[in-house]
Amino acid sequence: MVLKALRNLRAARRRPAASAVVDRPAVDGEVLLETIALTKAYAGADGELPILSGIDLRVRAGEVVALLGKSGSGKSTLLRCVAGLVAPSSGTVSYRGVPLTASNPGTAMVFQSFALLPWLTVQQNVELGLEAKAVPVEERAGAALRAIDLVGLDGFESAYPKELSGGMRQRVGFARALVVEPDVLMMDEPFSALDVLTAENLRGELMELWESGRFPTRAIVLVTHNIEEAVLMADRIVVLGARPYGTIREVLDVGLRRPRDREAAAFQELVDRVYRVMTGRVKEARPSVRAGVVEAERRTPANTPLPLAGVDGLSGLAEMVAHRGGRCGLADFAEDLGLEVDDVLPQVDALELLAFAEVSGDDLVLTQSGDAFARADVQRSKRIFAEAVADVPLVKLIVTSLRQNPAGTQRAGFFRDLLAHNFTSEQVTQQLETATDWGRYAELYSYEAEPQEYHLDTTGSQMS
C-alpha cells in the first residue's frame, strides 16, 4: 500500500493538465550505437562457450532502450560489449559509425553495486572520470558540483560513501556517469540493490530529469530483468532469449506517453505482452522443438537447463495455484503477493519442466499431476515429484551415473566437467545446486559437501 501510494503521489505531482501534456522531443534519427552480427563466447572445457549470437541492435539519440531478459540471456554481456569493456568474438560494435577497438568514448556506466571508492568523498568520486580525461582541477570541481546538485546530493559533497544510504550511494554513481556528459548512459540493473521504496523514488526522479531536458546525455541503455521497470522507463524493449545462447527474441515499441500510469489498462496490457514474449517457448531457439517443448528423447542437460527454483519455492507456487482452483493470472497473482511478475518466473519454469503446470495466455494452469502434487501429503508428494523428475536430464544423468558405479557414488567434479562444456562456471554451480535440491527431495540421491560426492539413495523412492 505504501509503495502504491508513493507511485500515485509521484504521478499526481508530475501530471500536467491534459492539454499541457508535452512529450520529450522525438528520436532525432541519429544512430549513436550499433551492433552487427555480434557474437560473444568464452573459453570452456570443450571449446568456445557462446553467450551471445547474431545480435543486431541500434540505439538512436533521444530514446531509452531496455535490454530485458532472464538470468543467463547475456544482457549484461551485451551492455559491456556496447560500452567497449568486453571485446566481441565476432561481429562489430560501432559508435557513430566508427567500429570500436577499445572502450567506447561516448558512454558512461552505472553499476548495480555502486562501485564507489570508499576512501574518496562524494565529490572526489564524481570527479574520477574527469580526472582520467585530464580536465583541469577547477573545471572538474565545478562540473562535479553541478552533477551532484542535479541528482539531489548537494550538501553531501564532502561525505564518504560509508555515511550514505544505498539510494544516496547510487545517486553518486549517476552523478559520476553524468558528469562526463556521455552521449549514451549505460545502466546495469542500477535499482536492483536498493529497497523497493528507494528504487521507486530514484527511478521516478531519473525519468523526471530525462523528460525535463536537463539530462546531459542523448540516450539511455538500461539492463533489467524487471518487466514493469522496462515498460515504465523505456521507449523500446529488446527482449533477449537464453537458449541455447543469447539472441534477440523480439523488439517492442512501448508507445506510451510519459508520465506512465502503472494502473492504466494500456500499461498492464504491454506488461502482459512482454511477459508472453519472455516466457514464450515457441520462439525460443532450441533444437528439435515441437509445440514449444524439446522432445523428451532429445532433451539434454545442455538444452534443458534447470531453472533456479528450489523445491520449497515451486511447491509453494503449486499449492497457491491449487488453492485458487488450479488456474490463476500470473500478473494478478504476483501483485497480490507484492512481487513483480518476473520474480516468480523461475518457479513457473520449474513447474512447466516437471509437467506440473502449463502457461496458457497470461494464466498458469496446473496439470492433473501438478494438482495432485500440490494437494498431496509430504510422502505422496515425494513420490509424485520423483516420477516427474525422472525426465529432467541433469537429475537423470546423476542417477544413471550413480547406478552404473558399483559403489553407488560419484564425485561432483565429474558432473562439473560435463556441464562446463555448455555452461559458465557460475551456471554450473547453479545447475548442480538445483539438481541436488531436487534429487534430495525425491530421495533419489544424497550429497556430502566435505568430499563433494553424490550417493545413490537405496532406501527412498527410486526412478524406474
More confident residue, 314 or 214: 314
For residue 138, what are the CA distances in angstroms to 127, 143, 216, 221, 317? 11, 9, 20, 31, 58
| 13 residue type, one letter | R
Residue 442 within a domain? no
For residue 392, tell me if it sits in a domain: no
Cα dihedral sign, 374-340-6-13: negative
Residue 44 has pLDDT above 80, yes or no: no
Q: Across residues 429-448, what is the average pLDDT? A: 89
- Is 347's pLDDT higher than 90? no
End-to-end CA distance of the chain: 50
Please check whether residues 122 and 205 belong to one and the same domain.
yes
Segment 400-411 shows an average pLDDT of: 88
What are the strands, taking DSSP E only, across 72-199?
Answer: 90-95, 98-99, 107-110, 184-188
| DSSP run (H or E) holding 76 | helix 75-82
- pLDDT, greater one: 335 or 149: 149
Least confident of 79-93, 240-254, 405-419: 240-254
Residue range 440-461: mean pLDDT, rounded: 82
Last residue of one domain, picked from the residues 350, 380, 410: 380
Contact 437, 454 (CB under 8 A): no
Residues 332 and 222 in one domain: no
> Of 380, 411, 429, which marks where a domain is finished?
380
**Domain shared by 9 and 105, yes or no:** yes
What does the pLDDT average to over 25-39?
A: 79
Check whether residue 254 and residue 315 sit in a common domain. no
Give the C-alpha separation, 256 to 63, whole Å.
13
Helix (H, G, I), strand (E, B) or coil at 347: helix
Specify whether 194 is located in the same domain as 107: yes
Q: Quick one: 239 and 161 in the same domain? A: yes
Please tell me the total count of domains within the chain: 2
Q: Give the pLDDT of residue 231.
A: 92
Is residue 177 a part of any domain in this protein? yes
- Separation CA 351–CA 439 (nearest Å): 15
pLDDT at 202 over 50: yes
DSSP string for 119-168: TS-HHHHHHHHHHHTT--HHHHHHHHHHHHHHTT-TT-TT--GGGS-HHH
Domain shared by 373 and 270, yes or no: no
The verdict on residue 250 lying in a domain is yes
Among 21-30, 44-53, 215-224, name the one with the lowest average pLDDT.
21-30
Q: Is residue 228 part of a domain?
A: yes
Confirm whether 389 is domain-assigned.
no
* C-alpha–C-alpha distance, residues 186 and 224, integer Å: 11
Mean pLDDT to the nearest integer, 382-393: 89
Lowest mean pLDDT across 22-31, 250-259, 311-320, 439-448: 22-31
Residue at 409 is within a domain: no
How distant is the alpha carbon of residue 258 from its chain centre?
24
pLDDT > 70: percent of the chain? 86
* Average pLDDT score over the chain: 80
pLDDT of residue 35: 92
pLDDT at 234 over 60: yes
Instruction: Determine the Cα–Cα distance for residues 254 and 239; give it in Å rounded to an integer.
Output: 12
Q: What pLDDT score was predicted for residue 9? A: 39
Alpha helices in 213-344 (DSSP H): 227-233, 265-279, 311-323, 330-336
Q: Is the pLDDT of residue 18 over 70?
A: no
Express each pLDDT in 285-302 by its tens digit: 333 333 333 344 467 887
Q: What is the pLDDT of residue 459?
A: 66
- Asked if residue 216 has a cis previous peptide bond (ω within 30° of 0), the answer is no
Domain that holds residue 326: 307-380
C-alpha 279/C-alpha 266 separation (Å) is 20
Q: How confident is the model at residue 221 (pLDDT cuts 50, 70, 90)?
A: very high
Nearest residue to 56 (alpha-carbon basis) of 295, 281, 248, 266: 248
Binned at pLDDT 50, 70 and 90, residue 212 comes out as confident
* Claim to verify: residue 106 and residue 234 sit in the same structural domain: yes
Q: Show which of 259, 279, 299 is a domain's final residue.
A: 279
Q: Binning pLDDT at 50, 70 and 90, where does residue 100 land?
A: confident
Q: For the domain that residue 357 is a member of, what is the CATH number? A: 1.10.10.10
d(CA 255, CA 21): 15
46 and 166 share a domain? yes
Q: Hunting for cell 546531459 — which residue is that?
A: 216
pLDDT in the model for residue 60: 92
Let me know whether 205 and 325 are in one domain: no
The domain spanning residue 94 has which CATH number? 3.40.50.300
d(CA 275, CA 271): 6
Q: Which cell numbers in the block locate residue 303?
A: 538444452
- Report if residue 127 sits inside a domain: yes
Please name the residue ranges forming H helices in 305-424: 311-323, 330-336, 345-353, 368-375, 378-389, 393-404, 412-419
Strand partners, 360: 363
State the pLDDT at residue 283: 37
- In angstroms, the CA 336 to CA 360 distance is 20
Percent of the chain past pLDDT 90, that is, above it, reads 13
Q: pLDDT confidence of 1, banded at 50, 70, 90?
A: very low
Q: How many alpha carbons fall within 13 Å on the CB side of residue 282?
A: 6
Same domain, 210 and 76: yes
Residues 325 and 255 in one domain: no
Mean pLDDT of the region 117-145:
86
